[in-house]
Structure 1
Amino acid sequence: MHGRKSGDNWCNKRHTIMISKKSVFRIIFPIAISLGITVLLFWKSFIGMIPFPGNYLIAWYEPWKSETSYARSLGIAHKPVLDDVFRQLYPYKILIKESIQNGSLPLWNPYNGSGMPLLATMHAGFFTPTTLLFLLFTGHAAWTMYIMLQPILFSLGCWWYTRKLGFSRIASVFSIVTFLLSGFAVVRYEFGEYLYVASCLPYILAIIEQYRENTSTKLLFLIPCMVFFMMISGQPQMVLYVLLISGCYALSLCRMERISIFPLGASFLLGMGLSAVQLLPTLELYRNSNMTHSASQFIFDRFLLPIDHFITLFIPNFFGNPATYNFWERKDYVETALYMGMIPIFFVTVLIGKNVLDKRRYVRLFYEIVICLTFLLTLNWPLSRWIYSLPIPIIGTGIPSRFFFLTAFSIAILAGMGFDNFLKGKVPLRKPALMCIGIISIIVIFTLFSASTHVSCLDSVTHNCWLVALRDTTARNIILECVVFGIALFGVWLYKKIGIFAALMIMSIYCFSGLYNANKFLPFSSESRILPSVEVIDRIKQLTVYDRIVGVGDAEIPTNIASYFRFFDPQYYEPLYLKRYGELFSWAKTGDTSKGLTRSDVTFSGWDEGNPIMQKRIARLMQLVSVGNVLYKKEEYHKKQINSGQILWEDDTWIIAKNTSMLPHISVLADSEVIADDDLLLERLFDDSFDPTKTVLIEEPIKGKNETNAKINTDNAVVGIISYKENFLSLRVASPSDGLLVITDNYYPGWRAFVDDKEVKIYRANYAFRAISVPEGEHTIIFTYQPNSITLGSLLSVCTAILIGIFFILRLKK
């Protein structure tokens, strides 16, 4: 008996060990898969390269284009793509890092655009956990990890979701790989923010599936965390898509299963409340920005797609690739990248007309509907144009082709489902194979016909585009995809003979094809080309101090570069820029507040240099925004001069000259004029008889101002800057009489002013800037950015977090 008992104990221990090994395998396998995909996508990072378009910056943008030995050589940037990374996203990350290290919250960016909100843009991503990477590591190392985390997060979420749907392990891997190698994902990896938002979708869907199985699941409390993570990661358009798709998924599932939707709906609402600290400042900025339907109209002309663009769903790079300088379609490659390849499409067609497992039927139908709707919403036809003509926030101002995120995700799930059915031998494969061969045949016939008949390409800049494309790019890409698909079909045929090895062959050839396209597009650069400092930038920082500088002509400085190097540039790039500031630039360039408004850029470029009236307006605009120095290319100096005075510095390539008519960044003026009407105010502001160095225009009378002293001279007033930080400005002012302290920083809700610790009203001055009333004598003046939207948002977020905690504890007790 004793021996039998010992044997039973040994068997139990062995069984426990086997279960333990299975559990460990279930944990390690998806992690290993996610790490493996990441290594394959970003292998260059392991040999010291950074996922950053630095070569593009060096070869195409000033001052690096003229300053570095690399740019002066015959070499050219291999991949001229993703300039938003160095024009906006990376500078924001570094500005946030340095702001925190200097002891201040990154609420305001004083360096570009005469001061703009920073945290409220959402692109900054201050609240994301990845901010810790930038605090702990150097900028380029943190950026590399920030980019490489995306496929890992998505892989784990998609693994969880597809396994909840009953996919086999290899089918789950196929779904993961299909999305991560899709065109939508590949072209957006190095932006960072898109895939972080996209990664939340499979986690939310998996939680919804868990709720279907067990309505008392405690995992519901993860939904508010997912919603919060999306909100703080950036890209409100992507956030909206995730909320829409997950909300519809939850509604359809709950209706089908006849279970309550209330707990799920409450979880999403709690997530919105938890996100208030980001959401309220962003909504405040949205109301004050130029993000309007009229300003976004050109987007629908450019990004609603012709029917022939959908060829790229099947044939990657059918129209070429900008990274290899052979893209010949006028549409934006990054925003319209759709390709999935023939192999996933084949496994999607496997499901057509076939009954799948009952557990998956509603899933298949749901994603089939999503694919159809996203195609209809991105196609250029009357219904889509009517929908986007409606003044719906985000939808009416966003880029339609970003719906391809939902297309790619839906195809990835359906492809995994079809692959799973194929592995289980539940579907005939002849008809799907013939269908896909027919698709390729139609594409080939269409291409040959277009080339032979010289069909014009309304969206191309290339003469005889079809013929050129057939010779240079299209034929090669069609042949490559046909070879890949042919090998995959051979693997399908072999499956009954060699089983899992054939399945692995299919997946391997698809990975080869997808990684080939990813490697073709994704730019990598050495550390030395990540926004390197050059002599002219060092001189700019040395000479400008608190004045602003503008590059004229070919010396134009890329927008938001000043935020990285910490000097002051009145130009700015951000979709949520302050509308009133943009209107000032528009009026200077066109004589109208709306004609010159752009969707994302506020710059001095785009005006008629041969028009003397426009030249005067631009000179006045430079004066109003306190441009103290102007950067010129030496060969352009004599023909591009605007109010240029003393040359402060020059070398063989550059000249930095003093602007002779600058309005100081901070000054005390005695005279003011009250003009409430915007048009009249702008006309007066740009009138030749008006001198902004003597008089300031305001929109309401100054409270308590003694009109008899309005003309008292304040020329001897002295302004000393004690401290100028992102959210804080401290001054020492000595004025012989009462006056108005004018600061050429943007007027915006949340700024508060104190004269000797007594709060005073801030007036909007010169259409877009700030002014306060200052009594005579010596005073300490403080401006501090303390927006109510941040305060209220923080309070709502904290209260929601407490509420979630209470609900969670009560659920645990049950």
Structure 2
Amino acid sequence: MRQTFLAIGIGVALVVAFFWGNLVTPAVNYTPTVGTNDLTDLNYPFRSFLSESLKRGELPLWSSAISSGYPILAEGQIGALYPLNIAFAWFPTLTSINLTIVSMYLILFLFSFLYLRKIRLGIFSSIFGAMLVTFSGFGANELMHFGMNISYGLFVGQLWLLEHYLQRRGSIVPILLMGSLLGLSVLGGHPQIIFYSLFFLIAYWLVFWFVRREGTTKKRMSFLTLLAGIVLFGVVGLGIGAGQFLPQLEFTLNSTRASGLQSEAISRFQFPVSDLVTFLLPFSKYLTGNSYSALVSNGWPRDEQYVYMGVVGLGLALSSLFQLRKSGPNAVFFAAAAGAALLLSFGTQFTTGFIFQLPPFSFFRLPFRILFLTNFSLAILAAMVMDRLSLRVSKRGFKNILQILFLGAVFCISFLDLNINAKKLYPEVDARQWYAQPQVVSFLSDRLRNQERVVSQQYFYATAKIFLEQYQIWNNPNIFINLRNLLPVFNNLLYQIPMNVGAANSGGLKIDRYNELESEIFFRGMEFTDAETVKISDSFMFINRIMGVRFLLTTSPIEHFLLQKAYEIPFETGQDSVYVYEFFDYFPRIMMVPRAEKATPKGIVEHLMKVDFDPKQVVYVEEDADWGAEGGYAATADFDRYTDQEIEISTQASGNGFLFLSDTYYPGWKAYVDGQETRILLADYAFRAVPVPEGKHSVVFRYEPRSFWWGVRITLITVGLTLVAIVGILLVKSKKQQRTRGNRS
């Protein structure tokens, strides 16, 4: 126990030292080759949204400010059900973020230390190995993805408990605790890391179940016992994680990943064989100069392919490969795991890449993320070699002080090496300046009414122009602070500015139908034909107007008869201004429409692209709608109340019609007309409409996802049963021990 407390103390000191700037300045880390990342533009605004939701007494099931409505909890990266996230969300957002950083790295360090001690490594080598696991490669580069590092740390915790179980093979308490950590990982982690780690854990379980079976003094356990343990682990894990798993499964089935990803995504996001050199020279594959190829090559996901574990760590790990016969089965297993994960990360460069085209592998982008198993395995191998070296040093009669100085120097050099390169990967900038409210927010907040929305150009075009034409200011972080006036990705959540874009660019999951329209306006609708000219498509204008968009944010002057420049924000850096354009004759967010026409999905998309109908006069649906006004039609619709999860609308019409709401259609939403539930029609390909009779009526839309509420029930029941089982087993064990001691006396 004393050793564990020592490790905790050292772990805290290392984490604080590694993130000193974040905690003291306070600073935030950005990606210099892109100007933004998911720490600044996803995790920070998501945490702010979680905090505001909890303070209102609700869970963040849905955000109406992202992509015209988005199931933010089901997407997963907000981690709304992870206990530590809930606890930290009550602090100011920046403090909350820093607490998460400290906690997830400390958890990773502590579990790594405990595992290494469990396989009988010395204290120093266990601390050294835990340091490598925590601050090198995957651990360092996924600072921007909290969920991935949370799953990484909890995976190591499951491995420690599994090793504990395999060594004793008695009580099932370690399996129940493993399942609990798996459940926590589902609640707050990342599916891809969980999925890959499960393969590792089960392989470890199977291998060492049989490798060590001959050496146990207890009765051999049958294969059915092995299978029962694995099933129990999975049931407890999925049961506890059901509150997140079921909504996420529902979202996946309604997302662009429902049928898996295309092979081109696998080949694009694989680890190039030529990048093996970055294990030793982490930035050697970055291109110099300000060419377009350098911009693309150095940008995302280059930063996520960071695998550097230090010269000392890598050298120790590679040296272990020459001693595998003497090192025992653990070393052999980790060497094989490191090699297998590395081979799979190469994707389609080798024939093994076909695996990523098979479900459920095909549901995940970026197959190179499996490299976390390579980084982890190499760190364990390095710790094993360090353990043998430290023993040799002590046997050669070094005086204690010299031994401590030598090993301490090796440790400090490794830590500083990792720290320096991690800060080069993600430099720090003053968080107070970075998160200062952009000037554009005041302009928009003063003018937006009736839930009107904002659309923004691609962030990439703004940064690309600076990189290619004003390279002399590229290393000035103020240019990226200025570009926050574009409200990139999810930053609008910080200021309650509704937008119709966001998920198509950075959402882990994207609603299938809506993503087609969002991609049309965000990726194809604004065509930057050269550095100064922007071509706006008719479909871009029409779809944005249907979505109730009033303002467009861009860094390029635009001439279009339906757009008028409303505001300009110049910058002292000399970069292009941010312009705010106002749409002329945009449609309101809610409209009473007199009639509906049935059409196929393909036909509706063609109407939207051709701009050949008036959304105020007809709504396109995909089922028979024997309803609507006859003759003249006059109607009004007004918001009485609009929140993320409930919308109240008053309507008045001279005849039967359809209330059109330009919010995303998604399962879980229910509609009520004068308190009576009515069906929601899939309108204009991706939105909502309900039939409303003539006269005055009250219409309510309410988000009541059954997948979430059933999931939460299963989570609570599983947590309760698991606690009862653990307490019961421990009580029985305690009574047996007391009875045994009594018999002996």
Deviation at 1:140, TM superposition (A): 1.0
1:541 matched to 2:448? The reply is no
Deviation at 1:619, TM superposition (A): 1.6
Task: Write out per-residue CA displacement over residues 502-528 of structure 1, whole angstroms, 9 at most, x where no aligned residue.
Answer: 222222222222222123233323242
Distance 1:322 1:419 in 2: 37
Distance 1:223 1:785 in 2: 34
The aligned residue for residue 577 of structure 1 is: 510
1:627 matched to 2:549? The reply is yes
Verify the 8 A CA contact 1:277 1:796 in the aligned structure 2.
Answer: yes
Structure 2 length-normalised TM: 0.84
Task: Write out per-residue CA displacement over residues 521-576 of structure 1, whole angstroms, 9 at most, x where no aligned residue.
Answer: 33323242243213321111221231112245868542222222111111123131
3-state DSSP of counterpart to 2:60: coil
Verify the 8 A CA contact 2:525 2:539 in the aligned structure 1.
Answer: no
The aligned residue for residue 9 of structure 1 is: none
The aligned residue for residue 110 of structure 1 is: 64
**Aligned-partner residue type, residue 241 of structure 1:** Y
Distance 1:394 1:725, change over 3 A: farther
The aligned residue for residue 597 of structure 2 is: 673
Distance 2:345 2:91 in 1: 41
3-state DSSP of counterpart to 2:328: helix
3-state DSSP of counterpart to 1:130: helix
The aligned residue for residue 467 of structure 2 is: none
Distance 1:607 1:388, change over 3 A: farther
Return 797-806 or 361-370, whichever deviates more: 797-806
1:268 matched to 2:238? The reply is no
Within-5 A mapping of 1:394-409: 394-395=361-362, 397-409=364-376
Within-5 A mapping of 1:178-577: 178-217=132-171, 218-258=173-213, 259=221, 260-261=225-226, 262-291=228-257, 295-320=261-286, 332-354=301-323, 361-379=328-346, 382-384=349-351, 386-388=353-355, 390-395=357-362, 397-425=364-392, 498-545=402-449, 546-551=451-456, 557-573=487-503, 574-577=507-510
Aligned identity (percent) is 22
Distance 1:82 1:237 in 2: 23
Verify the 8 A CA contact 2:539 2:611 in the aligned structure 1.
Answer: no
The aligned residue for residue 160 of structure 1 is: 114
Distance 1:687 1:512, change over 3 A: closer
Aligned residue among 562, 565, 568 for 1:643: 562
Distance 1:314 1:427 in 2: 29
Return 605-614 or 742-751, whichever deviates more: 605-614
3-state DSSP of counterpart to 2:77: coil
Aligned residue among 760, 773, 776 for 2:678: 760
RMSD value, Cα: 3.3
Return 565-574 or 611-620, whichever deviates more: 611-620
Distance 1:400 1:678, change over 3 A: same
Verify the 8 A CA contact 1:97 1:135 in the aligned structure 2.
Answer: yes
Distance 2:524 2:47 in 1: 22
Distance 1:419 1:96, change over 3 A: same
3-state DSSP of counterpart to 1:673: strand
Within-5 A mapping of 1:665-704: 665-675=589-599, 677-702=600-625
3-state DSSP of counterpart to 1:108: coil
The aligned residue for residue 464 of structure 1 is: none
1:747 matched to 2:665? The reply is yes
The aligned residue for residue 10 of structure 2 is: 33
The aligned residue for residue 617 of structure 1 is: 539
3-state DSSP of counterpart to 1:137: coil
**Aligned-partner residue type, residue 567 of structure 1:** I
Distance 1:775 1:79 in 2: 56
Within-5 A mapping of 1:72-87: 80=34, 82-87=36-41
Deviation at 1:153, TM superposition (A): 0.8
Verify the 8 A CA contact 1:736 1:777 in the aligned structure 2.
Answer: yes
Verify the 8 A CA contact 1:300 1:388 in the aligned structure 2.
Answer: no
Q: Where does the alignment leave 5 or more consecutive residues of structure 2 unmatched? A: 214-220, 463-484, 571-576, 733-745
3-state DSSP of counterpart to 2:648: strand
The aligned residue for residue 729 of structure 1 is: 647
Task: Give the number of the structure whose alpha-carbon radius of gyration is greater.
Answer: 1
Distance 1:92 1:299 in 2: 26
Verify the 8 A CA contact 1:81 1:323 in the aligned structure 2.
Answer: no
Distance 1:696 1:370 in 2: 56
Distance 1:187 1:410 in 2: 17
**Aligned-partner residue type, residue 302 of structure 2:** Y
Aligned residue among 698, 702, 726 for 1:808: 726
Distance 1:702 1:759 in 2: 17
**Aligned-partner residue type, residue 312 of structure 1:** T
Deviation at 1:86, TM superposition (A): 2.7
Distance 2:661 2:251 in 1: 21
Verify the 8 A CA contact 1:52 1:530 in the aligned structure 2.
Answer: no
Task: Write out per-residue CA displacement over residues 715-752 of structure 1, whole angstroms, 9 at most, x where no aligned residue.
Answer: 3x222212111111111222222110000001100000
Deviation at 1:162, TM superposition (A): 0.7
Verify the 8 A CA contact 2:33 2:298 in the aligned structure 1.
Answer: no
Deviation at 1:792, TM superposition (A): 1.7
Verify the 8 A CA contact 2:593 2:615 in the aligned structure 1.
Answer: no
**Aligned-partner residue type, residue 669 of structure 2:** W
Q: Where does the alignment leave 5 or more consecutive residues of structure 1 unmatched? A: 1-22, 57-77, 429-491, 590-600
Verify the 8 A CA contact 1:293 1:391 in the aligned structure 2.
Answer: no
Distance 2:210 2:278 in 1: 36
The aligned residue for residue 63 of structure 1 is: none
3-state DSSP of counterpart to 1:729: strand
Return 163-172 or 307-316, whichever deviates more: 307-316
Verify the 8 A CA contact 1:745 1:770 in the aligned structure 2.
Answer: yes
Deviation at 1:315, TM superposition (A): 2.9
3-state DSSP of counterpart to 2:510: coil
Verify the 8 A CA contact 1:237 1:395 in the aligned structure 2.
Answer: no
Deviation at 1:85, TM superposition (A): 2.1
The aligned residue for residue 446 of structure 1 is: none
The aligned residue for residue 146 of structure 1 is: 100
Distance 1:400 1:237 in 2: 9
Distance 1:602 1:516, change over 3 A: same
Distance 2:401 2:664 in 1: 71
**Aligned-partner residue type, residue 161 of structure 2:** I
Return 412-421 or 37-46, whichever deviates more: 37-46
Distance 2:90 2:82 in 1: 14
Distance 2:259 2:399 in 1: 53
Task: Write out per-residue CA displacement over residues 190-230 of structure 1, whole angstroms, 9 at most, x where no aligned residue.
Answer: 43222111101221111112112322333332112211111
**Aligned-partner residue type, residue 591 of structure 2:** S
Runs of 4+ in 1 over 6 A off after TM superposition: 321-328, 492-497, 607-614
Within-5 A mapping of 1:96-135: 96-135=50-89
Distance 1:323 1:33 in 2: 41
Deviation at 1:329, TM superposition (A): 5.4
Task: Write out per-residue CA displacement over residues 61-102 of structure 1, whole angstroms, 9 at most, x where no aligned residue.
Answer: xxxxxxxxxxxxxxxxx6755522233221111111112212
Distance 1:327 1:313 in 2: 22
Distance 1:52 1:395 in 2: 31
Deviation at 1:606, TM superposition (A): 4.8
Return 408-417 or 380-389, whichever deviates more: 380-389
Task: Write out per-residue CA displacement over residues 658-710 of structure 1, whole angstroms, 9 at most, x where no aligned residue.
Answer: 422322101111121111x211222233444411121111111236x3xxx53
Distance 1:142 1:733, change over 3 A: same
Distance 1:388 1:799 in 2: 36
